[in-house]
Structure 1
């Protein structure tokens, strides 16, 4: 899908979901324009493809941790198979479908559709696990579900996580969905609290999430706490998990304990049953509240991402491009200077030997040839030095290499690198995008927050 078509589809979607973001699309177009002028993206790329515009909730966890049962309860229908053993070895993307039944589509439907967060995931899988990119149907599937709870959001159910059997492709997809998601629910099984059983799970699920900038979007859920009723040791089990999480760097918080009503174990002691149910209801209400709030979080995340993309160009990409281009320019000018000295030395030798009658036309012709040689040498050296700088940049940042490739084309004037005009205009455009992003966040605030001065005005009226 070309950027223009993607813009139109997003505008159509946002006009119904969140009109405030319609103007944000315009700024993403401006950001794309700046990036293309720099050579950071090509004509078919767009920054709108680097984030999910649909609120996204991912659910990860160990085998038999109750993920599928939780999803079925939330959707109000049996969509995902559940059981104590591994029953599904694919990432399942669940979205709303207007039909009267659940429809399952292959992973190719996700890989080829830019509206979903797995667009072109096969290429990413191929880079980390050669040969697996063409087998995307083994890892992904799409289900459309006629559940009102799915309207306006996407749910991703992961296969049960067993680190001993994981392949690079599964790990890559897990990292991808954690990065793309607005909310991540990581399930653990309360029946297996011993440290040995949780070690690999913590290493692959928890240790990776603590590196996230927005760790608040990650909820750790201890499921099936009804199985602790017989020993009545819920606090001990929760404490064991919290200590294990803290050892992996997780700061306390975002930790919940629940069980699934449709699969709970009988509890004979009414007092214990009441205590577990109260804990479950409190934590489940908080989880559902976060799940319902992803639309708001997504609007802020999209708007903040615009600022982050612009700042990355302003603070990292643009200085690196400027430095590389100026280094290239200095090397070319030095080569030109040395060549000019060489030609000037040859011309001076003619005068040293004396100017003979009738040799002036020959000297003039030699001068013209020398000038032509200098011009040819200039373009030959600027291309050669550009290739050297591009090769150096490719090892550091392929996007930087693309920018150098574009900005060192033969018709680009070298002396303009020191005038600063082009760089200043680019910096001004980026500054305008950043300021717009902040203004858009203020407009989002106006939808959900009553500013203090407005409250004062209302009180004065009374």
Structure 2
């Protein structure tokens, strides 16, 4: 997708789901222009591709663990089929739409939508299954018209205790956990003993084990109403926690919930106790889901400051390398000109005619131009290999292209107009932060009033 088309589509979606961020697209567009002018960004790229504009919440678990029921209840609509058996073998990506009907689209639809951070996941799928329809085999998209999903993306995973495509599913799951803002892993409380949940532990929990961002992973023990008849909720939770710790899971929050509308608890005292625990945990889970939307919005705005500062920090380094490049190439050109001048004088002193001398000069000029561009390419490649910073390296390569005037190259890195523009972008990002603060404070007040 071309940058201009991406800007347009992002604005269309954000106008519906998060209007405060619409203006931020213009700031990214300006930042892209500066970065492209300096060579820090490829002409067909945009910084808006490097960050997900919608927070991604992954819901993982085994069949019958209640994850699809949780999603339906959260959305307020039954869009996912529930049951004790496998009902779908694909990852279902769920997002907002104005259409009143739930629409299911093939996985390829995800590649064309700027909301989704699935460009890399497409590559991961290609590694697993290198066919034209591979993404449709593992992913599908569902759109739903409900306020709770506005500005967010949910992923419902296929169950992990199915033998079909298990290894492939786990490979994709690892990548989904990496790109997710929040990961909910569901367990069926009806099978607390290690033997019954061995498959889950071996094929699901291992994926999340020792993850670098373990705090974003929540472990949810669902359907606790079905196995707490003896009022032993703490024992059940403890059994699961011990089983998880044996597998190396030592971080991540543990919750216990159930579907109150489907629960059949005869003992009123026990019912009240379970409900209190469920309500407390569910409120915290929902708060964390809401928080990822806020965190993602701030991250998007702060990324303007981050990228602007990254360019500013690299400008002195760019100037240093371009100055060295200019000096080396200038010395090479001077030596070449001096050598060719000696040759012309030598031929002239031998008594050659004017036609011969002028012809020689014309030939040497062409030879100089050929050697100049050859030397320029060689020196640029040699110096670029020694630059470890990929961001700086791309700019250096751009500034040393054959058609770029090398004598003026260092001036690009000292352009005050560009530096001032970057500082202005940083200042404007602070204004957007304040707008986000005002928006989220207003939303918080509205929730409290409700």
TM-score above 0.5, yes or no: yes
Tell me whether 1:203 sits opposite 2:195 in the alignment.
no
Partner of 2:113: 113
Q: Which residues in structure 2 correspond to 1:51-450 (within 5 Å)? A: 51-98=51-98, 101-118=101-118, 121-126=121-126, 128-129=127-128, 131-132=130-131, 134-161=133-160, 170-171=169-170, 173-190=172-189, 191-192=191-192, 194=194, 196-197=198-199, 198-208=201-211, 211-212=212-213, 217-230=216-229, 232-239=231-238, 241-242=240-241, 244=244, 248=248, 251=251, 254-264=253-263, 266-267=264-265, 269-315=267-313, 325=322, 328-329=325-326, 332-333=329-330, 335-336=332-333, 339-340=336-337, 342-343=339-340, 346=343, 350=346, 355=349, 369-387=363-381, 392=385, 402-419=394-411, 421-422=413-414, 426-449=418-441
| Deviation at residue 268 of structure 1 after TM alignment | 5.3
Q: Secondary structure at the match of 2:84?
A: coil
Deviations 1:133-184 (A, max 9, x none): 6411111112233545334543221222359876776456435544554443
Are the counterparts in 1 of residues 14 and 22 from structure 2 also a CA contact under 8 Å? yes
- Structure 2: distance between partners of 1:31 and 1:340: 42
CA 1:380–1:309 in structure 2 vs 1: closer, same or farther (change >3 Å)? same
CA 1:36–1:326 in structure 2 vs 1: closer, same or farther (change >3 Å)? same
Q: Secondary structure at the match of 2:428?
A: helix
Are the counterparts in 2 of residues 73 and 262 from structure 1 also a CA contact under 8 Å? no
Partner of 1:25: 25
Q: Provide structure 2 residue ranges, at least 5 long, that are not aligned to the other structure.
A: 443-450
Are the counterparts in 2 of residues 96 and 144 from structure 1 also a CA contact under 8 Å? yes
Are the counterparts in 1 of residues 86 and 162 from structure 2 also a CA contact under 8 Å? no
Cα RMSD, aligned residues only: 4.1
User: What is the TM-score normalised by the length of structure 1?
Assistant: 0.77
How many residue pairs get matched?
437
| Deviation at residue 15 of structure 1 after TM alignment | 4.4
Q: Secondary structure at the match of 1:442?
A: helix
| Deviation at residue 293 of structure 1 after TM alignment | 4.7
CA 1:270–1:446 in structure 2 vs 1: closer, same or farther (change >3 Å)? closer
CA 1:449–1:106 in structure 2 vs 1: closer, same or farther (change >3 Å)? closer
User: What is the TM-score normalised by the length of structure 2?
Assistant: 0.78
